Structure 1
């Protein structure tokens, strides 16, 4: 039995709403729920849900890499150029690795 067969209407709608929020297509949501596109589309539209088209702004943004914070090629180029994307220089930075008490997460105070 799939999720679709044993879930309540509220659970189905929550799954559909989550998929719509993420910009998933009907096919992706249906695969995730274990049902057919037509069954999911019918149920969703019957309950007032509108599915994003493949050419909608959110779908195009996700396909273009907006969900990852940019295109993969840009990330690879930044790594190749050794551009840091992490502000901590080492793992002990959270324990005041720079000598700056204002930047430390844990302020133990006193002598260490």
Structure 2
């Protein structure tokens, strides 16, 4: 991933990295959604910092949103029988979260 980031930066692209959202089923017994240290979250955060590129903490932001709407509503945002891949509605919600965060960070075009 580091090579891709550097190649894009060398071409003048604005590089944006994002941590992945968790599974629909990543709720604890208190109905709090959390999947912070799974998959590539730590390495993505480190790479963004090391390369000085924008990072969207989609994992944390989506977990906060999923906690707010609860397990059933969260599951409805994922493909039937698949707790990892969002459906069309879920993808739209995740895109909204990303766009809002990029606006908050002051990235041009958002």
TM-score by length of 2: 0.29
Whichever structure has more strand as a proportion of its residues is 2
| Greater relative contact order structure (CA < 8 Å, 6+ sep) | 2
Larger radius of gyration: 1
Whichever structure has more helix as a proportion of its residues is 1
TM-score by length of 1: 0.28
